[in-house]
Structure 1
Amino acid sequence: MSDVLALGWGAYLFCGLAVFGGTMLQRLAGQGFGMVAAPLMALVAPAFLPATILLIGFVVGVGSTVVDTSSIARRELPAGFAGRILGAGIAAWIAASVAQPEVFAVIIAGGVYLGIALSLLGVRVPIVGATLFSAGAVAGVMGTLTGVGAPPMALLYQNEERRRSAAMQNVFFAFGMVVSIGALGLAGLIGVRHLAFAAALVPFALVGLRAARPLSRRMARQSIRPYALAFAGTAATILVVKQLL
């Protein structure tokens, strides 16, 4: 708990705003929580990543999913879930050998850049068992290591109707958070300080979920995507520059 208090109010509020913004984007578009929140939090609280992002991400994912379960195609879930479990296991093994927060900061920035690249590809990938499993596996590695695991599934569902796209991405996101948290927990990489900091930041996520509700009926996914990607890329670049200075 002393580690959390040592951050100070300024860093706490900065992380809270990062969580709020990422939550709004996740609720509206089905992706973006990690791409926004992770690099910004890494600027002021790298020692709490990726565990804290994943813990808050679980709340965000569940909160975003329960809003609309009617658009979830359950037949598509098993393959994606299986891939996510495999990817999370691989990532936990990698994370156990990386102890320096600075290394995680660079990995997070790389994950954001990869996520932006995947989001901009614009190719149509068929939604079948093999692609769901592959996307789940890549998302498991990316999400567990960096907290940025949504882009592979976003690539699959980017051409689907907005409501279905957001619903499917959110359910995969929520499940992914559970699996990644479990994998890091088994690897001994989640402690009391991560739980305490996540609990302190959850209110920002809850406010973000509530604030996004009226906007979801008026704002198309395409209208916020370019701004979200630009913001995430800027945050990642600032993070890289900070590590180089």
Structure 2
Amino acid sequence: MTAWLDPTILALGLAVGLGAFVQSSIGFGIAVVSAPVIVVVEPQLMPVSLMVCAIFLPCVQLASGPREVSWRPLGWSLVARLLATPFGVLIVAATSADAIALIVGVLILITVAVSVRAVDVRPTRGSMLAAGAISGVSGTAASIGGPFMALAMQHEPPHRLRSTLAVFFIGGTGVSLVGLALAGQVSTEQLQAGLTWWPFVVAGHLAAGPVRSRLDARVLRRVVLTFCVVASLGVITRTLL
């Protein structure tokens, strides 16, 4: 049996597909939902395999949906991500798979804490620079960068938020992948796993389309955040023990 048909990799594709469904519904979520599962089952695949999906999904979103982008905030955030990416590359190069798993768990708990607090952030130059810089480090080290951008742009209309985040993910994740490749941190196994999950990404995105307008975004958000808390605590406990 080839690695393309490895049952473990295919099973992880279901988690990636669920993450794609969530991201296509609320703007982010593919890494937040699927990363805890991947780091428990196949930690050596992180973060590159998930980045391969994180750069593919927004391409699908932009090809099949509205493309109304807030270009000025996006520009500031991409500049900051570019400058901060080397720090994320350094973390990946200098730490083990268990350390990456611990980073994922902690970042997801921070994401949940930020998401549930009524913090009124506007997409100013300063907030977008900060969100881009944080995403440059966390998105490169653990493939989780969307929630911080979503927080900074929380007052944008949903379609504009999704489109702007999609362009940010394409540019930012591309920069991170190039940085990791130059540092020798990209393996064939990771790339192959990420490519294997592409059909699951498409399926998750297509499943979100018909139900997006009927979904109660608040209920979905609560379910996702609850899952993330439980999963991240499990990841942290497993890593420490």
Same fold (TM over 0.5): yes
Aligned to 1:88: 85
Q: Aligned in 2, Cα 1:88/1:123: closer, same or farther, shift over 3 Å?
A: same
Supply the AA of the counterpart residue of 1:185. A
Deviates more, 1:216-225 or 1:108-117: 216-225
Structure 2 residue aligned with 1:33, among 14, 30, 33? 30
In the other structure, the counterpart of 1:132 is: 128
Partner in structure 1 of residue 219 of structure 2? 223
Conservation of the 8 A alpha-carbon contact between 1:26 and 1:170: no
Q: Does 1:122 align with 2:111?
A: no
Query: Are 2:230 and 1:234 equivalent residues in the alignment?
Result: yes
Tell me the residue number matched to 2:59. 62
Stretch deviating more after TM superposition (211-220 or 37-46): 211-220
Deviation at 1:34, TM superposition (A): 0.8
Q: Per the alignment, in what secondary structure is the counterpart of residue 96 of structure 1?
A: helix
RMSD: 2.0
Amino acid at match of 2:160: R
Superposition TM-score, scaled by structure 2 size:
0.92
| Cα separation, 1, equivalents of 2:52 and 2:169 | 12
- Counterpart of 2:176, as a letter, is S
Distance 2:181 2:211 in 1: 35
CA contact 1:122–1:155 (8 Å) conserved in 2: no
Distance of 1:134 and 1:154 partners within structure 2 = 12
Matched pairs, number: 241
Percent identity for Structure 1 against Structure 2: 28
Letter in 2 for 1:111: L
Structure 2, unpaired ranges of 5+: none
Calculate the TM-score normalised by the size of structure 1: 0.91
Q: Deviations over 1:125-170 (max 9, x none)?
A: 1212221111101011111111111111111122332222222222
- How far does residue 69 in structure 1 lie from its aligned partner after superposition? 4.0
Segments of 5+ residues of structure 1 without an aligned counterpart are none
Of 103-112 and 151-160, more deviation after overlay is shown by 151-160
SS in 1 for 2:144: coil
Give CA-to-partner distance per residue, 1:184-229, whole Å, 9 cap, x none: 1111101211111111111111111111111222224323111111
